[in-house]
Amino acid sequence: MKTILPGPILVDTTAHESAEKGWFGWVATVDHKRIGILYLITASIFFLIAGLEALLFRIQLAVPNNHFLSPEAFNQIFTMHGTTMIFLVVMPVLIGLGNYFVPLMIGARDVAFPRLNAMSYWLLAFGGLLLHFSFLAGGAPAAGWFSAAPLNETPFNSTTGQDYWVLSLLVLGIGSVATSINFVVTILLMRAPGMTITRVPLFVWMMLITSLLIIYAFPPLNANVVMLLIDRQLNTAFFLPVNGGSAILWQHFFWAFGHPEVYIMVLPAFGMISEVIPVFSRKPIFGYAFVAGSTVAIGLLSFGVWAHHMFTIGLDRISESFFVAASLLIGVPTGIKIFNWTATMWRGSIHFTTSMMFATAFLIQFVIGGLSGITFAAAPIDWQVNDTYYLVAHFHYVLFGGSMFAVFAGLYYWFPKMTGRMLSEKWGVLHFWLTVIGFNMTFFVQHFLGLLGMARRVYTYPDLPYWGFWNMVSTIGSFILGISAVVLLWNVYASLRWGRIAGDNPWNAWTLEWATTSPPPAENFNRLPAVNGRRPLWDLAHPEDRDEKQAGKMPVLLSMDKTKAGMLTFISSESVFFITLILAYLYYVVLAPVAGKAVHTDIRKMVVFTVCLFSSSFTMWRAEKSMESRRTGSFHAWLVVTILLGGAFIVGEASEWWHLMHTGVVIDSNLFATAFFTLTGFHGLHVCVGLAMLAILLWLTFLPDFNHSLDAVKTIGYYWHFVDVVWVFVFSIVYVRPLL
Amino acid sequence: MNEFFRTPRIAFFLGAIVLLGMAVPSAAPILAGHYPFTVRMGQHMLLQLVIPPLLLMSLPVKKSWRIWPPMDWTLKQPLITWLAGLVAMWGWHTPALCNAAVRSPFLHDAQALSLLVMGAAFWWPIAGPARAQRLHPLLGMFYLFTACMACTVLGIIITVAPANLYLAAPLPGLFNDWQFASPMDQRAGGLLMWVPGCLIYVCGILGLLARFYEPGPEAFPAVEPERTA
């Protein structure tokens, strides 16, 4: 158990990789602060694009029987609006702020894997470009942001837009998982001395939980879009009911991602609110442990309730009742948070800065969105109002009135730290009121429209009583929102040029990011204050009235090599990807007997190659042992044997495929074959990646400056053992199960 | 003994006994074959996921417990105890074993007992009375989260599987009016494992969090698990 002594601690100030100047410096950067800003700029650009799209369809909907947009254009524009706002605006803006502030708030110099961080950003940028390139390549996707099957299949959507949607989601998904692994490892392993996990700022805690949600929720989406891509490109029928596939399975997998995704977009916002409200109420957060704990509860529950998005597809009553009950439960931890924030403000000395005004509006609007959400949890109400404008109003109250308002609160709060200059409060107040009025005008009236029966996603509507009026109100509101965005942009521009110099800690806040200069130097801190509680800067200023009277009670958690930790996190995410593929296989081959003629697999041949693969795990372990005792010769020998055994497995797998294809069994023969080739193919692909890693490792060990990093070898070993363990499951399900 | 009555331990113990009373008489071989599958699933959940942690929490907390060296060693291996939970849950719900346990009174008792014992092993690193053998709360949360995932996957499979995999007879009387038979029965059983089953793990995780945020140095072990000589 370490006791942290009070007093300033010097951090290692070896020069950060010297920052390149100019444009190239931004492109080549691996600094978490620059990458964070790149995220924010990218998100702003896409925010403008998606906002303009919204204005276009609000013009179309302003009056009944309008012909401003064609039905096709309307479909494309609302699909792009939704997809862009979710994947290219809300997520990147939250990840961007996280990127900038998580390392600062925990007193780290950078994230755990700076280059991986840069890769994640560029995957986002190119994923976004890929999605928007579809406009030039024959039309944007047009099946809505959740792209329900079978509408997303070739017979119903034959343009390439849908394929661009799939590919860009895949790229964005990989980037999001990569950046989340970075967050998890950074938060768990790179905290400053004294910054125990029970003391981290709540924004950091929420980013940790969000990252875990991304790591476990994105693999089902990735597997799902991969299957859709196979359907569309290789003519198979995973989700095509006419050929025996299941459109409902698409929904299950999509919402297994889609519901946690809601919390991915809202938990970091909760985190920002939990930073802003205490600082501007001049009180510590009320019930830190409850805010942190209820976040975990929300995160866990979010994985178990996705079927409430599917009440209208015809689930049976029994299933519905279970998911109604579980969905209602989510209201409890969310409500706890609302009470915590309110209690923090209670009898505080509240400073209504623009940031605090946005946070207060967040509280009210999020409660409205949350309450209408609870109405959706009741299946009979859901049958009535699902896919009406009532739903549109609900999720905009959560995602705009909630998440985006929190982002604005966070932006006004942290802008001084990022730029060194204050955002103008005068323009800020104007921005705030325009946003509040515009937002509520646009979306509150949509509750009425929904209850009047107006379905979402209709490109126009007949002149029914009140419909035209409320739609016009909504359209006017959306233009006010558009003006508010212009005001914000002007505020940012003007404040960057002429804004008041901020100083290190303009808000007199308490967390570590305010203990360095604004903007922070490349290495973040020259000196870190001692961390003896949740508010280190308060403790520093008030040594007589510290938050925690006794220092350093908590033991330091986990000391682990960060590369290993990163690999283990990655492997746990990959496991979910394989669980999804295995469930799909079981569904098509075992559970829903529509798969067609069984594929004649050759178990005797595969047993031999399976033994090869399993023994390669043993030889890899021997290689690690040799490295441990620094016997380079034997290490090389075991590594080469491992590669040969893995290679033999791939050859065996290939010969199995070759044989099947020669007997006329190809991926689009029937669902059985589709599921078989997809599952074994993805496993084979992972083995190949493992082989490539082993080969690179072997090559590196022959270089003169190889430093005998046992951790590196073990990291690659983990991956290799993982692909073997996956084969245990694939082999038993594909090859052994039919024998039983 | 006095201490036992003054702490929540007595409540945990009584709770476990009451639930055991609910779960076990229905294990009587005459009745077992005539229960809907859902009731049996509820029984299994109680036996494996609810009663063992309650019993463990009713034991006095010590630094470490010594029972029998091989067992002490086993209980200190989270991977083994995790697998014990997984094997008990997946094993007894393969249709062959699950149905065999309905037909044979001996297997039925073995099932109940093994669910209890393996459940206790599973919960030992989380709710066990040996403080030094408990997992760090963050690791414990991962332990429960992955177990929850395994439980969810099995629940989903049972829910989606073709009907009539499991032997079951609807109860006479009221239940008959509900027409509560397969496929509805089997689906409800699967859902029971999928949704409320998951909630039990969530409760465990929240309990760990409460312990995590509890001030005081003795709440959980330090970095290195202590090695007993």
Residue A479 pLDDT exceeds 70: yes
Which amino acid, one-letter code, is at B2? N
What pLDDT is stored for residue B73 in this prediction? 87
CA–CA dist A99, A122 (Å, integer): 14
What pLDDT is stored for residue A2 in this prediction?
A: 37
pLDDT in tens, A299-321: 999 998 999 999 998 888 889 99
- Mean pLDDT on A647-670: 92
Q: Best interface-test mutation with A: which of B191, B201, B206, B214 has the largest number of A CBs within 10 A? A: B191
Return the structure tokens found at A502: 């901020």
- Residue B47: the pLDDT is 93
B-chain CB neighbours of A323 within 8 Å are 195
Q: Say yes or no to pLDDT of B186 above 80.
A: yes
CA gyration radius, chain A: 27
Mean pLDDT for the stretch of residues A379-404: 95
Using the structure block, give the residue that is written with the tokens 């072990």. Answer: B221
* Identity of the residue numbered B86: L
Pair of tokens at residue A566: 């990163």
pLDDT at A11 over 50: no
Please give the pLDDT value at position B225.
Answer: 37
Distance CA B58, CA B53 (A): 9
pLDDT in tens, A132-169: 999 999 899 999 999 999 999 999 998 899 999 999 99
Whether the predicted pLDDT of A16 surpasses 80 = no
pLDDT tens digits, A595-653: 566 777 788 889 999 999 999 999 999 999 998 888 888 999 999 999 999 999 999 99
Tens of pLDDT, residue by residue over A705-720, are 777 678 889 999 999 9
pLDDT digits (tens, 9 = 90+) for A431-448: 999 999 999 999 999 999
Contacts of A733 in chain B (CB under 8 A): none
Which stretch, A366-370, A534-538, B186-190, has highest mean pLDDT?
A366-370
Report d(CA A42, CA A264) in Å as an integer.
Answer: 19
Inspect the interface and report whether the beta carbons of A304 and B195 lie closer than 8 Å. yes
Could you read off the pLDDT of B152-177 as tens digits, one per residue? 999 999 988 887 788 766 555 545 55
- Look at A293 and B213 and tell me if their CB atoms are within 8 Å: yes
Whole-angstrom distance, CA of residue A178 vs CA of residue A160: 27
**Farthest-apart Cα atoms in chain B, separation:** 62
pLDDT tens digit sequence for B59-118? 988 888 888 888 888 888 999 999 999 999 999 999 888 888 877 878 888 999 999 999
Q: What is the 3-state secondary structure (H, E, C) of B29-80?
A: HHHHCCCCHHHHHHHHHHHHHHHHHHHHHCCCCECCCCCCHHHHHHHCCHHH
Q: Does residue A3 or residue A282 have the better pLDDT?
A: A282
Whether residue A316 and residue B184 make contact (CB cut-off 8 A), yes or no, is yes
Q: Is the peptide bond before A150 cis (omega within 30 degrees of 0)?
A: yes
| B209: nearest CB among A296, A304, A559 | A296
Place of tokens 């990252």: A211
pLDDT value for B79 = 94
Residue A243 pLDDT class (50, 70, 90 cuts): confident
A104 pLDDT above the threshold of 80: yes
Beta strands at A527-528 and A9-10: parallel, antiparallel or unpaired: antiparallel
The residue-averaged pLDDT of A569-587 equals 95
Of A289, A572, A591, the CB nearest to B161: A591
- For residues A546 and A552, the answer to whether their CB atoms sit within 8 Å is no
Radius of gyration for the alpha carbons in chain B, expressed in angstroms and rounded: 19
Asked if A316 and B202 come within 8 Å (Cβ–Cβ), the reply is: no
Q: What is the mean pLDDT of residues A235-244?
A: 90
Statement: residue A109 has pLDDT above 70: yes
A326: closest chain B residue by CA: B195
Residue with tokens 């038979």: B181
CB atoms within 10 A of CB B215: 11
- The ipTM value here is 0.87
Class of residue A402 by CB neighbours under 10 A (exposed 0-12, middle 13-18, buried 19+)? buried
Burial A623-659 (b: 16+ CB within 10 A, else e): bbebbeeeeeeebbebbebbbebbbbbbebbeebbee
CB A330 within 8 A of CB A302: yes
pTM above 0.80, yes or no: yes
